[in-house]
Amino acid sequence: MRDVAFGQYYPAKSFVHRLDPRTKILFLIAYIVAIFLGDNFYALGACAFMFLLIAIFSRVPFKSLLRSVKAVIFLLVFMSVLNLLLFDGGTPLYDLPKPWRWLIITDRALYNASFLAVRLLLLVLGSALLTLTTTPVSLADGIESLLKPLKLLHFPVHELALIISIALRFIPILTDETGRIMNAQKARGADFESGNFVKRIKALLPILIPLLISAFRRADELGDAMDARCYSGSKKRTKYKKLTYGWRDLLAAVLAAALLAAIILLKIYTLALV
């Protein structure tokens, strides 16, 4: 649980850390759009190059970024197996007797499974890089600023940003709490590591009740703290730190536009060849 990187902030003085949170959110949106627009490995290669470039300038250790993949390993394996076995079309890579024909893997199935796995990896790594280089408070301020036009429709923008900020902040807190509960259960003789996958899942069930109780207790304490500080939502609230754009944000916008343009041109070129 301690290896989950999503929701954790890595403090550093880097080009990416100094970017305006609104710029980073919009860049992530453009990055995700580029990933889904790409329909071949050349496009994903361009997205991967952009991710590596940003990761280097962020000064975040690659070990911290790779830890975010652990949370989706099961999903990656499950999705890949389904695509390998259920994808119809292509040339079979080997032959099997008739009762086992459903285990035959084709070249198109292998390509499709690999493509979707790389796409999911890039999505997870990009999202993790955003949370590792942006504090929850800055992220909430950026979301609130970007959604400010919705206030004309009486949409609770500030409350939504606050909910997202609290949720991101509670991820590492609940992760540490889970680790403490597991250590306490191990001291009482609980075994979470032996047995098959199903037995390990059943062994984790006794952790859920104390974890839920701890989460509700922390939420109640947070509510009392906010009430003691006379928190009243977005009415007449001011900002201690004003969000401002700088030359770094302009450069990031140019990089995002270049990535989208490259993916779109590559897609047009591919369609023209077909």
Can you name the residues that pair with 261 across neighbouring β-strands?
none
C-alpha distance from residue 106 to each of 75, 96, 117 (Å): 21, 12, 17
Torsion of CA 233, 235, 241, 246, to 10 degrees: 110
A 10 A CB-CB count for 43 gives 23
pLDDT band at 170; cut points 50, 70, 90: confident
Angle at 206 between CA 180 and CA 174, to 5 degrees: 40
Rounded mean pLDDT of 49-63?
91
pLDDT value at residue 83:
80
Rounded mean pLDDT of 62-88?
81
pLDDT at 4 exceeding the cut of 70? no
User: For 196-229, what is each residue's pLDDT tens digit?
Assistant: 767 777 777 778 888 888 888 888 988 888 888 8
Rounded mean pLDDT of 1-27?
80
